[in-house]
Structure 1
Amino acid sequence: MNNYNSIARLVGVLYIIGTVAGILSVVFTGPIAGSTNVLMEVSANVNQVKLGTLFILIMGISLALVAVIVYPIVKKVNEALALGYVIFRGALETVVYIISAIWLLLVVVSKEYVHTVSSDSSSFQSISHLLSNSGEQIHSFTMIIFSIGALMFYYLLYRSKLIPQWLSGWGFIASIIYLVTGVFALFGTVSAFVLLPLALQEMFMAVWLIIKGFNPSKVNI
């Protein structure tokens, strides 16, 4: 029992670490990635970009660890879905985060490029535009992959009753909203407010797991 409580607390802590790191990555890199002159902005804020990259990696690793840690428990409900959750959240999503980090690291290299190309040149503008658009598309695909993994996870939690079903149901519905938002984001901008239900649910669930742990009557499923 103590082992399951420890796992629950660890999952809760990892969710909080991942969320905080994700927010900080946006704080540090959001204004730069959204700039019309990405290369010029990066050349002036190299350390800021490096910190943002570090937080992206922390977020990816934290969320990937959740999938690995809970797999032995949720596989008792449905092994195929549990494995799918590990693939989407532990593998695919992590790869996308790494790609995002590589993109930011490559942008750092552009500092030297900016020294040799004037900011009003067509080549500079083209590269800036390309980097901005690629960052947006990567973010959209991350949302889709994240949502698919989250749907599997919350379905498994709902079936297992390891946490209250209203809480896992909240996560399932919020994940659907997140998935739809990610699809629409591929074709245009979306309001960040539609992402709030899942963010609130994850933080509430994280605190619940840290304080309450898993349902003791369901840990052996």
Structure 2
Amino acid sequence: MFLELVNALAVSGIAFLLYPALKRHNEAFAIGYFGSRLLESAILIVSLIAPLLLLPLSKEYITAAEAAGRFSLTTIANTAVDAHFMLFELAMVVLGLGSLLFCSILYRSKLVPRWLSVIGFIGYAGLLSSSCLAIAGHDIGAVLYIPGALFEIVLPIWLMVKGLHFRH
């Protein structure tokens, strides 16, 4: 859970770091991307409340004497787990939408090679689709995340080695 919090905070940090560079190429999309990452971060932080509810519920479950009380606590615990899952998927929807804006800026501005931007488009469209399907109750697993995972591995390496290609 600590790593989930670190991730949520890092998401905001990425938005703050990229905004100045993206704003030079498309201010409206840069603001959209920035806002989506802040919203994603907020949703991820709120989603951390649900697992924390499991601790007091488990203590109550142990001390509950009758079966009806245990059943109620189990139902509440399952709801908390489901809420965590749904909030995470909602955060992924927001990430997908905002990152499509991000990839659009990358593609149009040629800050990185276009092939990399295209992989990002495909990956975030897959993430968006997969998360929407999961929220609708049709969890297809992580198969649609593969191009996005490739983009999220290659892009940072590219940025560390080559940086952004600014044309003046």
> Same fold, TM exceeding 0.5?
yes
Give TM-score scaled by structure 1 length: 0.70
Q: Work out the CA distance in 2 between the residues paired with 1:64 and 1:148.
A: 16
**CA positional deviation for 1:99:** 0.8
Which of 178, 182, 206 aligns to 2:131? It is: 182
Counterpart AA for 1:176: A
Match of 1:61 in 2: 9
Alignment partner of 1:97 is 2:47: no
Runs of 4+ in 1 over 3 A off after TM superposition: none
Q: Work out the CA distance in 2 between the residues paired with 1:56 and 1:183.
A: 21
Query: Which one scores higher on RCO, CA 8 angstroms, separation ≥ 6?
Result: 1
Deviations 1:68-101 (A, max 9, x none): 1111111111111101111101x20011111111
1:1-221 paired onto structure 2 within 5 Å: 53-89=1-37, 91-117=38-64, 120=67, 121-188=70-137, 189-215=139-165, 217-218=166-167, 220=168
Q: Work out the CA distance in 1 between the residues paired with 2:21 and 2:61.
A: 51
Percentage identity across paired residues of the two chains: 31
Note the aligned Cα RMSD (angstroms).
1.7
Q: Work out the CA distance in 2 between the residues paired with 1:76 and 1:118.
A: 64
**CA positional deviation for 1:160:** 1.3
Q: Work out the CA distance in 2 between the residues paired with 1:211 and 1:68.
A: 21
Aligned length: 165
**CA positional deviation for 1:119:** 9.1
* Kept in 1: contact 2:54–2:77 (CA 8 A): no
Give TM-score scaled by structure 2 length: 0.90
* Kept in 2: contact 1:71–1:86 (CA 8 A): yes
- Uncovered stretches (5+) of structure 2, i.e. residues with no partner: none
**CA positional deviation for 1:108:** 2.5
**CA positional deviation for 1:137:** 1.3
Instruction: Determine helix, strand or coil for the equivalent of 1:162.
Output: coil
Deviations 1:114-157 (A, max 9, x none): 23225953212211221222122112211101101111111111
* Kept in 2: contact 1:88–1:145 (CA 8 A): yes
- Uncovered stretches (5+) of structure 1, i.e. residues with no partner: 1-52
Instruction: Determine helix, strand or coil for the equivalent of 1:115.
Output: helix
* Kept in 2: contact 1:74–1:160 (CA 8 A): no
